[in-house]
Structures are given as structure tokens and as C-alpha cells.
Amino acid sequence: MSRSRHLLTAFAAALPILVVALIVGVGRGFSGALIAAALWLAAVLVVEVALWFGSGRQLEVIATTLGTPPRDVPRALRELSERAESCRIECERLACRLEDLSSGLGDGLLVVTSDLRVRLINKPALDFCGVDTTAPRGSHLLEILRDPAVIEVIEEAAGGGRPGPRVVENRNGLWEIRAFPVREGGAVVLFSEVSLVRRSAEFRRRFVQDLSHELRSPLAVLRTTVEALEDDVDPRLAGVLVRQVERLDHLTRELYDLATIESGQLELELEKVNLSSLVRDVLADLGPEAVSIGVDFRDAVPKDAVAWCDRRGLYRILSNLVDNAVKYNRRGGWVEIHAESRDDEVTIRVSDSGEGIPPGELRAVSQRFYRVDRARTPGQGGLGLGLAIVKHMVQYMGGTLDLRSREGIGTTVTITLPNAASS
């Protein structure tokens, strides 16, 4: 309301006082009229002040907040009201859409506030909790979930932490729980039923292990037969047969070894191993192959370097890495093995001057059955299990593996192992 309208309203509100004052002072002449006018002006002033403090001041505050003149406040308020209604409708639409999406997820989804109040929960999450009916929004997590381990994970995430995945088994199956904090407070929790995945992985592992085991006997017979026929067939054909049988035997052993490692059945004899002696054996065994393609070996392992590991396992690891470094090298290139002891661990690096690995494939080369472009090593087939076996065996012996490569320059594989038994 503007100041002029305030005054007009005050004048109108004080008119009854003016009329009463005139009636009372009509018999007193001019002095009575003055008194009546004075009373009326006083009434106008009182009404004006009351209107100003009652509505005008608030109107000025609203106008200042909106950044608009006081006369435009009603229009601005209408626009704000329309926007608020639009926002409310859009929020309801988004909430419905989120509920539709969550109901279509195969995984369970739970969203809680920082004080563990349920904001959203879908059917798979209710199945995990063992609740048949939908939990009302705003109910406390403890009203639908009783597992202390899961509640602890959710509480950690709702408090801003980042707990790792947790596998929980209940009467509804085997579940993987992953909880993530939300910026404004609270957490998002995913429940994945992994019973079928675990059974499939176990079936695959057993199949590979049984298959590779059963192939050993016919391969042994085939090797014996090929060796017996070497004098009766063309030497070139005999050489091809021998190489292919050896290749099949090598692939079969790799499959069996990987399945054994993944099943946790690998038996290790951990001891202090002199790295210098072991590396010399590896380089001596692979020397002929390196010489045939003009690759030079560089031994940079101190004579007193030791590692706490399984000797046969580390020999297998280094043989695989050096063999790859030779195969993927260029004529006239080099392969170097370097070792360095620091504190309670020893670092072993196998570097080469080979073709390197494309950046897009660097993370995938240690996955089982993955092979870099076959055209780069024609005639040198494999299942892509070598680095997968290396990675698993290093982890099995309590170590870590790091792979770095630059295409066209070379590759460096770094292995870190303990150099003493853990207390």
C-alpha cells in the first residue's frame, strides 16, 4: 500500500471523530471548530501510524526483498505463487518418476536421511529387510531393519563415511550391500542379490578346472604319439605337431593353475628366497628365445636381495613377465630386471623396450582371457591368462602389482613383496 493510499485511508477512518468533534464544538464558535479539526488531525495521525506499522512497514520489507516497487508487490506475489505451484508440481512429478525408476530396478534401493529416516525404498530392498508392506516415508530405519552389521554400514555412510561393500546372508539370499553418502546428508544404499552370480562363478571355475584336468591325459598320449612318429614323417610337419601339442599342454596348465588360484586351493611354501639366484635361473631358461630375436637381458638385482615368498610361485611370475617382455619386444631391444629393498618390502621391476600397450587396453590386460592385438605377435597364441595368473599369485603371496606402459617406448611391471615373515 502506498503512502497516499495510507493517508486517504487514515482520513476516511478519522471522519467519524471529526463529525463527533464538530457536533460537540458547534456551540462554541470558531474555537470549537479548531478543537474539532485538531482532534481530527490527531486521529488521522494515530491511524496513519497504526497503518504504517501494521502493514506499510511489512510491505516495504517485502518490496525490498522482492526488489520491486511497493505498487508492484501484488503482481510479484502472484508470480511467486505461480512459480511455487509449478515447483511443487514438478517435485511431485520427479518424485513419482524416481519411485517408478526404483521399482523397476533389479537391485534394492534405499535412501535415508542423516538421522536414518526412510526417504525412499523399493520392493527388492523391502525383500532384503523381510518387510511385506511398503514402509511409510519418514519411518525410522530400525522399524524395518534389524541386522546390526547392515545398520552399521548405513550409519557410517549417512555420517559421511565411505564403507566398503559388505556381503550379508539372510533367509532371503546372499546380498552385497553398498552404501554411499549424500552431499546434503544421509545415504543411498544398494542391495544386490548375488547368490546366482556366486553360483555361476563357482560353476565356471569348477568347469574350467575339471576340463583342464581331464585334458591332461589325452594330451600326454598325443605327445607320446607325436614323438614316436617324428622319425616317420616330414621333419617340418613333426616340428609343427610338437609345437602345437606343447602349446595345448601349456594352455591347459594355465587354465588349471588359474582355477586353482581363484578357488583358494593353491599351496604355497613361504620362505626367504634369494632374488639374485632366482633371476639368474629365469634369464638362463629364457635366454635362447631372447637370443633368437636379438633381445638383450640386463640383470640389475643385488646379490643380497631377498623376498619372503614361494620360490616356485615367484619363478612362475618372473618367467611369465620376462617371456612377455621378450615376445612383445623389438629386435635389438632389451629386458631389465631390477630389485630394491626398502623397510619391510622388496620391489622387483621388469622393464622392456618393447612396443608398449595402448592406453585404452592398459587396465584390461591383467583380466583373464584378455589379449592385446593378436596382429602384433603373429603365431604366438595364448588365452590371455598369463598376467591374470601373475596378478593372483602376487596377491596370494601378500604383494602388489603395478603395470605402466607407453606405446612405442616400453612397459614396466612392478611387484612389491614382503622381505620378511609378517608378525
d(CA 20, CA 253): 117
Which pLDDT belongs to residue 33?
59
Cβ atoms of residues 1 and 72 within 8 Å: no
Q: Residue range 112-119: average pLDDT?
A: 86
Which grid coordinates belong to 423?
A: 608378525
Q: Residue range 18-37: average pLDDT?
A: 58
Sequence spans of domains, the chain: 3-67, 105-193, 197-262, 270-418
300: pLDDT strictly greater than 80 = yes
Query: Which fold does the domain 197-262 belong to in CATH?
Result: Helix Hairpins (1.10.287)
Which grid coordinates belong to 144?
A: 524395518
Give me the residue label for grid cell 593353475.
257
Contacts 24+ apart (CB under 8 A), 12-21: 13/43, 13/44, 13/47, 14/40, 14/43, 14/44, 14/47, 15/40, 17/43, 18/43
- Residue % of the chain over a pLDDT of 90: 8
Give me the residue label for grid cell 615368498.
309
d(CA 270, CA 306): 12
Lowest-pLDDT choice from 47-56, 342-351, 377-386: 377-386
pLDDT band at 337 (very low <50, low <70, confident <90, very high): very high
Q: Residue range 155-171: average pLDDT?
A: 84
Which contiguous run of DSSP H or E holds residue 342?
A: strand 334-342
Q: Looking at domain 270-418, which CATH architecture does it have?
A: 2-Layer Sandwich (3.30)
d(CA 121, CA 100): 11
The reply to whether CATH 3.30.450.20 applies to domain 105-193 is: yes
pLDDT band at 88 (very low <50, low <70, confident <90, very high): confident
Contacts 24+ apart (CB under 8 A), 48-51: 48/6, 48/7, 48/10, 51/1, 51/6, 51/9, 51/10
- Give the three-class secondary structure for 286: helix
Cβ atoms of residues 354 and 421 within 8 Å: no
Which pLDDT belongs to residue 224?
80
Cβ atoms of residues 55 and 9 within 8 Å: no
| Single-letter amino acid, residue 129 | C
Q: Are strands 173-181 and 166-170 parallel, antiparallel or unpaired?
A: antiparallel
d(CA 353, CA 356): 8
Q: Residue range 253-274: average pLDDT?
A: 76
Cβ atoms of residues 28 and 35 within 8 Å: yes
Q: Report if pTM > 0.85.
A: no
Which contiguous run of DSSP H or E holds residue 181?
A: strand 173-181
Cβ atoms of residues 274 and 305 within 8 Å: yes
pLDDT band at 351 (very low <50, low <70, confident <90, very high): very high
Q: Residue range 94-117: average pLDDT?
A: 74
Q: Residue range 126-130: average pLDDT?
A: 78
Which grid coordinates belong to 16?
A: 467519524
Which pLDDT belongs to residue 357?
80
